[in-house]
């Protein structure tokens, strides 16, 4: 599904991704762990096409299609979704309006018709209920005045509504209390399927107790320096990144 080969990318003049290779087959959940500043968020921005992130070498494809040749909105329409580490506030735009616009833009790009208002509201109510989000909150401007945990839950609501094929969760667990963590993990697990893959960026093994990964990778100094099964996350928790950072 996702194939990244020897990827290199700069932010400004600084090279942050330094020859990164990673494969995430269809249906699998891979976790990425690594020290602060290693390039984890940068990787997610490069894959999703954020402005200011310049690819200088290598390749990245989703289902055989060159991701790097597409605009950010085209990548989203192909089913790529990023749950932000720091969700943006959008004053003046109610969350419901934002999600409906995003959903319709994706449907249009795929040649599908717009979702009707009643159908959209029914879907939004159902998904908000599953994620224990008060429906009234969706009438407020997106993320404005939301608590850290509410913002993260709102990201997962958007994910559930957009039904992407490849999900990147960038530290979705940060800021969540233990109950919210379980609810969010259930929301993520509910969309696991053989056709859908995920990259879960996290600092904490605890999240991986709830969202069980098929593989765990260590990203240090812009490259994947170690890969293993879920036991690697336990080892990192016990030993830290020193060994891996030195190897990088």
Ligand X SMILES: Nc1ncnc2c1ncn2[C@@H]1O[C@H](COP(=O)(O)OP(=O)(O)OP(=O)(O)O)[C@@H](O)[C@H]1O
Binding mask 114-133 for ligand X (x = CB under 6 A): --------------------
Which of 2, 4, 16, 31 is the binder for ligand X (CB under 6 A)?
16
When the beta carbons of 84 and 166 are compared against ligand X, the nearer one is 84
CA proximity to 184, closest of 160, 214, 213:
160
| Subset of residues 21 to 80 that bind ligand X, contact rule: CB under 6 A | 34, 36-42
When the beta carbons of 10 and 63 are compared against ligand X, the nearer one is 10
When the beta carbons of 19 and 27 are compared against ligand X, the nearer one is 19
User: Which residues are within 8 A (CB) of 125 and not within 5 positions of it... i.e. 6 or more apart?
Assistant: 135
- The tokens describing 187, both together, are 């929301």
Among the candidate windows 9-17, 143-151, 189-197, 230-238, which touches ligand X by CB under 6 A? 9-17
When the beta carbons of 103 and 173 are compared against ligand X, the nearer one is 173
Among the candidate windows 10-18, 58-66, 152-160, 224-232, which touches ligand X by CB under 6 A? 10-18
Rounded alpha-carbon distances, angstroms, from residue 130 to 133, 146, 169, 182, 183: 8, 19, 19, 12, 8
Contact 42, 53 (CB under 8 A): yes
Label residues 210-248 b or e (16+ Cβ within 10 Å = b).
ebebebbbbbbbbbbbbeeeeebbebbeeeebeebeeeb
For ligand X, how many residues bind (rule: CB under 6 A)? Answer: 12
Q: How many CB atoms lie within 10 A of CB 182?
A: 13
When the beta carbons of 17 and 133 are compared against ligand X, the nearer one is 17
Shortest Å distance, C-beta 155 to ligand X? 16
CA proximity to 17, closest of 50, 51, 48, 40:
40
Which parts of this chain interact with ligand X (CB under 6 A)?
A: 11-12, 14, 16, 34, 36-42
């Amino acid at each position: 599904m996702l194939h990244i080969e020897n990827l290199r990318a700069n932010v400004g003049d600084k090279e942050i991704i330094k020859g990164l290779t990673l494969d995430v087959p269809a249906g699998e959940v891979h976790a990425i762990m690594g020290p602060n500043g290693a390039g984890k968020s940068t990787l997610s921005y490069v894959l999703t096409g954020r402005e200011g992130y310049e690819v200088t070498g290598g390749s990245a494809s989703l289902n055989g299609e060159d991701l790097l040749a597409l605009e950010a909105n085209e990548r989203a329409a192909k089913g790529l979704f990023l749950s932000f580490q720091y969700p943006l506030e959008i004053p003046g735009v109610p969350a419901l309006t934002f999600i409906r616009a995003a959903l319709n833009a994706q449907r249009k790009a795929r040649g599908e018709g717009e979702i009707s208002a009643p159908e959209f509201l029914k879907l939004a109510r159902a998904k908000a209920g599953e994620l224990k989000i008060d429906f009234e909150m969706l009438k407020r401007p997106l993320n404005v005045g939301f608590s850290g945990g509410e913002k993260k839950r709102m990201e997962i609501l958007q994910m559930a509504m957009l039904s992407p094929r490849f999900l990147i969760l960038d530290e979705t667990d940060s800021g969540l209390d233990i109950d919210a963590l379980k609810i969010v993990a259930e929301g993520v697990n509910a969309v696991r399927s053989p056709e859908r893959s995920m990259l879960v960026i996290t600092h904490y093994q605890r999240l991986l107790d709830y969202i069980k990964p098929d593989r765990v990778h260590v990203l240090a100094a812009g490259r994947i320096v170690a890969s293993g099964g879920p036991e690697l996350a336990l080892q990192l928790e016990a030993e830290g990144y020193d060994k891996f950072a030195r190897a990088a």
